[in-house]
């Protein structure tokens, strides 16, 4: 398992401190970039992500929940280990988005809403490094996990074959269901509320690793 904590539920008044408290226990930092149009929420954009990029050595997992991912991708300062994920439902075509992200030298990812047919991402599996399965409706943190997402993960595993893309899952994941998500075939687990809404986020991360069967200290 690789763990990517989502900062959407963190205290933005001390965001860097919140990340630094857990940075040695996780594999990525997940950023939910929302434009208020593609989803009914408005969060942050390149200035915030880029300012943190200078201070955090972990790879960034940047989830673009925006209409124009191909247009805005070049505004992010990214490196080879970072991931920029766009939605298949966005206004820019998947080919445009993948090309724009590849030109930046980082890894392209593709995502889809829970009710979008999985068949829409299948033509792009040879072109991306990451597929993000949304297990809640994108837009807000703290939602309940949709159990039907497990079947989508299993279906992606069957489609993967010898392809090298990773399967990430985002939404409503905590100690009670993280094992089921991994058993279905997920490689990367994105967790927000279960970490940053906990009294002790560092202890919450440890509980996640324990529940996953991979204790870390």
Given 61, 82, 129, 170, the catalytic residue? 170
Q: Does the annotation count 170 as an active-site position? A: yes
200 is catalytic: no
Closest CA to 38 of 71, 4, 68: 68
Owner of token pair 């959407």: 8
In angstroms, the CA 159 to CA 122 distance is 8
Query: Is the distance from CB of 113 to CB of 138 less than 8 angstroms?
Result: yes
Rounded Cα distance between 16 and 147, Å, is: 33
With H, G, I as helix, E, B as strand and everything else as coil, classify residue 195.
Answer: helix
Structural contact between residues 215 and 178, judged by C-beta atoms closer than 8 angstroms: no
User: Among the options 32, 82, 92, 129, which is catalytic?
Assistant: 32
> Which active-site residues does the annotation give?
32, 170
């Amino acid at each position: 398992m690789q763990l990517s904590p989502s900062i959407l539920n963190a205290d933005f008044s001390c965001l860097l401190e919140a990340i630094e408290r857990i940075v040695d226990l996780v594999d990525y930092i997940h950023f939910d970039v929302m434009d208020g149009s593609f989803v009914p929420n408005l969060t942050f954009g390149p200035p915030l992500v880029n300012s943190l990029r200078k201070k955090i050595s972990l790879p960034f997992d940047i989830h673009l929940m925006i209409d124009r991912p191909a247009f805005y991708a070049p505004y992010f300062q990214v490196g080879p280990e970072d991931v920029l994920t766009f939605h298949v439902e966005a206004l820019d075509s998947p080919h445009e988005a993948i090309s724009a992200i590849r030109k930046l030298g980082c890894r392209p990812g593709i995502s889809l809403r829970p009710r979008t047919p999985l068949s829409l991402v299948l033509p792009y599996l040879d072109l991306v490094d990451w597929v993000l399965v949304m297990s809640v409706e994108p837009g807000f943190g703290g939602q309940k996990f949709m159990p039907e997402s497990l079947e989508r993960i299993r279906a992606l595993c069957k489609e993967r074959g010898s392809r090298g893309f990773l399967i990430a899952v985002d939404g409503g994941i905590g100690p009670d269901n993280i094992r089921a998500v991994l058993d279905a075939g997920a490689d990367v687990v994105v967790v927000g509320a279960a970490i940053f809404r906990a009294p002790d986020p560092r202890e919450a991360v440890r509980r996640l690793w324990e529940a996953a069967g991979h204790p870390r200290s």
